[in-house]
Structure formats: structure tokens, C-alpha cells
Amino acid sequence: MSRVVILFFVFLPFAAFAQKKVNFIHADSVKGGIKDNKRYQRCIGNVSFSQNTTTIYCDSAHFYRAENRLEAFGHVHITDDSVDITSLRLEYDGTKKIAYLRQNVVFEKQKIAKLYTNFLDYYRTKNEARYFNGGKLVDTTNTLTSKKGYYDVNTNLASFKTEVVGVNPDYTLNSDTLQYNSKTRIVYFRDFTTLRDSEGKKAYYQNGTYDTRKKISALNNGEMESPSYKIKGDAYHINDAQKFYKVIGHVVMTSKEENMNIYGDDGFYDKKRGISKVYGHAYVAKVAEDGDTLFLSADTLVSIENKDPHKKRLLAYHNVKIFKKDMQGIADSLAYISADSLLYFYRSPVLWTNENQMTADSIHMLLHNKSIHRIYMVSNSFVVSQDSLKDFNQIKGRRMTTYFENKKIDHVIVEGNGESIYHALEEKKIQKDSLLIKITFLSGMNKIICSNMRINFNKGKVSSINFYVKPDASFFPPQNIVEKERKLKGFVWLAAKRPRREDVLPKTTSNIKNP
């Protein structure tokens, strides 16, 4: 038993030495020589060597047996388990197990991917191949090039650095650092990356992953751009196969055609359906030609694309608020059709323009040159304004159309069941000491019932009223005015709900300036 143990320890170092030794297998001819005072064998024709599982083939070689190294020339071919390498020149250090391959190098792992370069160092103990003067990795899906890189045989992970370019049928990408698993076909972005796809979209992102087989990405801190839109956020989940793109955190979507930005916490773009949705502190900033900006907020904002311009629209629903210098509004939901320049307000809508409050079952607004042109109020229409004495002037009807000139109400047409209450004011000048004081007082109240009427405005205030079809008018001097008669049925004053700019924008963005 002791003899067996002794023999084991005697042969163990020899076995380890044998594993490091490069073995000459074959050559058509072998000649001895001396180079730089070192003895070598010059092997010519069908040359082959081996070391453990590695076999080296070449046309000719200089074999330095004492130094356990060789130099190989012409049609160099290395096979090592799952690795197959070819080149025109090779220097191989058998002790360190490092192969230095030069000129027309092709490195292949189990037919998964091929790496092309002119300068490759292969570290057998680490199972790692490194190139440092330009290289290209090719598989059935992708082509990746860079100045420097390395390939880990055990993990199938290729790392690329400096002037990285990736090309496949769907996109072209540029980066400074990325990694690619040639088995799973997953790209790992490690630095700022630019991507351009075959449909003209561009994307910029800092880091993340892309599964080139499933066409699914998870990216961080970037921006995507199409011919019509730009979208940016903190993180992206992209499914190119389904054409579904989800953005998470600080979402900003820009419509180039509409000069409009949509903001929110999260959002997605469903390209197949042509639907974009932004939700969570969502709001829109739309710049008008005069430089004023329309702000609109809601729980959810939806943009619908369509080849037919009349089917393209922006939808906002639940808790809609609008702010513009000359107009504010609230509603449950809203639709904007850009082709017709129409805004539709649904469910308890209220609009304010200057001193006027407008309500109806539904309201839609016609824009012209990005400004309000007409407002259509349908069913239970009501216009209220408060004068300097805090009295309420009111117009009521089944249907009303408000016409604007120079961003102010010019006149209102009432059609059906028209009613009006108007408080007539007068001014009187009183001399007190050396001061001339103007006093405004109520001279009376007009109450009119008429099927149709026209109310004319001057500088946003009622200047005259025209009545059509059997008007019934009454005038009440101040002493005869009964308080309960001062409000039409259905009157409601909603000034407390009138949005301010800071009510429409989230608190984190309420201090932004008009774009």
C-alpha cells in the first residue's frame, strides 16, 4: 500500500509536466536549426502539434522544444474542444498556454458565432480570446464590430469597446461599450448607445438589454424618436415583435406635427393600433402661434394615430383641467381632433373666458389659427358673468354658439328657450373736495324670455341684446327687484373651480416657463 502511495506522488509532478508540454505529431520533413542562439526544429508540410485537448495544424513551423513554444505559418488551424481558430500566423507559448494569432484570424465557438480580426490573443487557461486592433463578431442575426474586445468561451459573452457598431436587419446601433451573449443572443448595453431602425426611428439610451431573438428590450434613461414623435423617460420595456413600447418614469412625448408635448409618470406606444397613452400626473403643453401655451391635465392622455387625418385625435379622460391665458376649463373627458381644429368637452363641462362662465351638457370648441374661434354649447346651455357690483348677468338656452374676435367674445347666438337676466349699471361722477369720484350703481334689472336672441359684447362685457320670435321682456328698478328672481333656473357659480396655471401642472413642474 505504501509503495502505491509513493508511486502516485512520484508520477503526479510528471503528469502535470506532461500536460504543459507541446507534443510534435507530424510533418512531411523536419530539419534542425539555430536562431538567436536557440535551437529549434523547422517543420514543413502538413505540420501538427498537440497539447492536452488542443491540436495545432499549419503549413510550416519553428518548434522550440526546450522552451515549449512554437511559431506556425500558413493555414494555421487550432481545434480545442468547442473552439475552432484559423489564421495565417501563430506564436504559441505552451507553458502559459497562450496563442498569439495574426492575419486573417477567424475564431469560432461551436458554430454559434464567428469572430474576425487580424490580431487575436487566446488565453487557453482562461478560455478567453482578446483582440485589440479591430474585430467583427458575426452570427445568424447580428454583426458587431469594435476597436477592442474579448470573448469568454465559457459564458459565450463577447465584450466590445471603442467605436462599437452593431448591424442586423432591423437596426444599426453605435456605442462605446456593450456586451453580447452569442448563445442567448442578448445584447447588454453598458454605455450611451444610439440606435436607428429600418423604419426611420432613432433611440438613445444609457444602458440596458436587448434580446435579439425575442426582440424585447429593457433600457434605461433614454429617448426614442420617430418621424412624428419623440419620447423619453427613465426606463423602457420594448417589444419590437409586438410593436409595443412602454416607458416608465418622467415620460415626455413630443408631437412634431402639433408642436405639442405630453408629460406623465408612465406611458406606452402600441404601434399596431396606433395608440399612445400617458398616465400619472399627465398633462399636455401645446404652443400656439402667438407664443401662448395651452396646458391640459387629466388622469390619462391618449393619442390616436391614423392615415385618415380626421380619425387622428388626442383624448383626455377623468379630471380634465385646461389653462390658457384667455381660457380655462374643466370636464370629465375631452377629445381634440386636429384635422378639424375641434375640442370636445364631455360630462359637466365648464369653460371660462375672461369674465364669462359657460356650462352645458356638452361643449365643443372650434379653433382657428390656434385661437378660439367659436364655442358650441349643446343642451342646457348657460353663460354667467359677474359685474363690478357682484351681480350675475345670465344667458340661458337650449343651444348657444359663442363667436370670438381677437380672443374675446364678440357675440352669442341663443337658439331655443332663450332666457336672460342683465343688470343695467350706470356711472355717476361726484366732486368731493378736490377729487372727482366715479360711482357705479344699479339702475335696474332686465329679464327677457325669448326663443332666440343675440347678445353682443364689447371688451368681454354685454353691450346690447337683440331678441327674436315673441320676446317677453321686463325691467325691474332696484327697489322692485325680488332676490329669488335674480337667478335663472339652473344657475350655478363655479368660480372656485376655475383652474389656475399651477392647478393644471403637477407641483414638480408648476414653475416651468411657457415653451
Contact 178, 187 (CB under 8 A): yes
- The grid coordinates of residue 67 equal 522552451
Cβ neighbours around 9 below 10 Å, total: 8
Q: Which of 104, 119, 135 is the last residue of a domain?
A: 104
How many angstroms separate the Cα of 230 from the Cα of each of 255, 330, 447, 511? 7, 28, 55, 23
Percentage of the chain exceeding pLDDT 70: 93
Does residue 105 contact residue 129 with C-beta atoms inside 8 Å?
Answer: no
For residue 19, give the H/E element and its range: helix 2-20
* Per-residue model confidence (pLDDT) at position 5: 38
Q: Which portions of the chain are predicted below pLDDT 70?
A: 1-19, 288-291, 370, 460, 506-515
Chain position carrying cell 490580431? 119
Residue labelled with grid coordinates 414638480: 508
Distance (Å) of CA 252 to CA 61, 284, 352, 452:
63, 10, 28, 47
Domain annotation covers residue 446: yes
Structural domain for 382, as ranges: 349-510
Residue 179's CB is within 10 A of a number of other CB atoms, namely 21
- Which of 227, 226, 163, 160 minimizes the C-alpha distance to 187? 160
43 assigned to some structural domain = yes
The residue count for the chain? 515
pLDDT at residue 510, rounded to an integer: 38
Number of structural domains (the chain) is 2
| pLDDT of res. 289 | 65
Long-range contacts of 217-221 (CB under 8 A, 24+ apart): 219/189
Residue 365 lies in a domain: yes
Under 8 Å between Cβ of 97 and 22: no
Cβ-contact 331, 348 below 8 angstroms:
yes
Question: Which CATH number fits the domain that encloses residue 418?
Answer: 2.60.450
Would you state the pLDDT for residue 15?
38
Element (H, E) at 78: strand 69-80
Closest CA relative to residue 33, chosen from 74, 88, 59, 71 = 71
Q: Specify if 175 maps to a domain.
A: no
Q: Please, which contacts does 75-79 make with residues 24 or more away whose CB atoms are closer than 8 Å? A: 76/101, 78/54, 78/122, 79/54, 79/55
DSSP element (H, E) containing 145: strand 143-146
228 assigned to some structural domain: no
Determine the pLDDT at residue 285: 85
Q: For residue 364, tell me if it sits in a domain.
A: yes
- Residue 422 has a pLDDT of 87
Domain ends where: 36, 71, 104?
104
Residue 401 domain flag: yes
Which three cell numbers mark 99? Answer: 496563442
Gap between the Cα atoms of 279 and 274, Å rounded:
17
Final residue before a domain boundary, out of 52, 71, 104: 104
Q: What does the pLDDT read at residue 440?
A: 83
Q: For 37-127, where are the alpha helices, taking DSSP H only?
A: none
- Contact present, 440 and 335 (Cβ < 8 Å): no
